[in-house]
Amino acid sequence: MTRKFLTLAAGALMLGMSSMSALAAGKTIAVSWKTFQEERWKTDEAAIKAVVEAAGNTYVSTDAQGSAQKQAADIEGLISQKVDVIMVVAFDSDAILPSFKAASDAGVKMLSYDVLVEDPNALYVTFDNVGVGRIIAQEIQKVKPEGNYAFIKGDKGDPNATFLFQGMMEVLKEALDSGKVKNVCETFTDGWKPDNAQKNMEQCLTSTGNKVDAVLAENDGMASGVVAALEAQGMVGIPVGGQDGDLAAINRVALGTQTVSVWKNARELGKVAAEAANAIADGTDPTKIAGVGKFSGGAKGVEVNAILLAPTPITKANVSAAIDAGHITKDQACAGVAAGAVPGC
């Protein structure tokens, strides 16, 4: 899999975009959501709506309620309302392709948000998922460049578990080859379950006589199991990495029991996507938008224009970032932390 895209720091991207969005006005930007069942989409929506309306454009939305048919009908309706841009969180990325084509034919600009739709005319805006594994490994390596690493991977049936691990290995390859870092345990975790991760970690510690210096868990839930296993051995404090930006994990980062939680800031994603939508509505060529690169990592290998946002590693140093972004309250993030001990608390 070759990746032909640029991953840009989100900050730079936003700077480049804000100047453009000021020009747009009076356009209609629609979002077709796949579902509102899950809490997180509300966050995305708020961010998108704010950016769209700040530019003087109109925000409309539809909810497919978890049905591919309804989503197709939703898009049809939006086309007939003559909206300028449709951003789609696809429920079924294959089934929705004809709708994308119909929209493009009708002159509506398309964006696929978070979920890849392999239509060469649509701009894909998402987080760099493989990058998450890389960032976890980088952050751990920063604090523990040498030693025995344990890898608590996700469910063996989930391709994400493998992607994440690949990312980690890219970063650690050199250190592993030179023997600086040793892979002492590496287990998949049934169902990404924290309690399974705890058991796996306990067995890892038993089988190595506690000779583990750092743990790379593939998500925060499993990191909580890892930390519980470490606690029972009085080993709390050794570097532990995870991802998701779980509220409990951010609290652990502040407490120092977890080193990093890589966080995909939905607000950030919404903001970037909305700014891109504003620009496209104004007639800007997608390839001219800052941060756009080519991406062909989908199942069919179709090359699309894409903005791949780098996720944010939350460490003790920037717990405040999550608080400032409104992702977590100060009380939640700093529970049990002495005031002032951690920046932001």
Per CB under 8 A, residues contacting another protein are 38-40, 156, 185-195, 198-200, 202-204, 206-210, 220-221, 224-225, 227-229, 231-235, 246-249, 251-252, 331, 335-336
The residue type of 320 is: S
* Whole-number Å distance between alpha carbons of 43 and 332: 18
- Minimum distance from residue 111 beta carbon to another protein (Å): 25
* Residue 192: CB minimum distance to another protein, A: 7
Q: Which is nearer to another protein, 119 or 244 (CB)?
A: 244
Q: What is the DSSP string of 174-217?
A: HHHHHTSEEEEEEE--GGG-HHHHHHHHHHHHHHHTT---EEEE
- Write down the least CB distance from residue 67 to another protein, Å: 18
Query: Measuring CA to CA, how many Å separate 39 from each of 20, 44, 64, 90, 91?
Result: 31, 10, 15, 17, 16
CB atoms within 10 A of CB 244: 20
DSSP assignment, residue 338? Answer: P
| Pick 101 or 267: Cβ nearer another protein | 267
Give whichever of 194 and 297 is closer to another protein, judged by the CB atom.
Answer: 194
Q: Are 67 and 37 in contact (CB under 8 A)?
A: no
Q: How far is the CB of 329 from another protein (least distance, A)?
A: 10
Q: Which is nearer to another protein, 246 or 282 (CB)?
A: 246
The minimum distance between CB 196 and another protein, in angstroms, equals 8
Task: Select 146 or 202, whichever has its Cβ closest to another protein.
Answer: 202
Q: Cβ distance 180 to 146 under 8 Å?
A: yes
Query: CB neighbours (10 Å) of residue 197?
Result: 30
User: Could you report how far apart the first and last alpha carbons of the chain are, in Å?
Assistant: 42
Q: Closest separation between CB of residue 200 and another protein, Å?
A: 6
Please, which residue, 46 or 235, has the CB nearer to another protein?
235
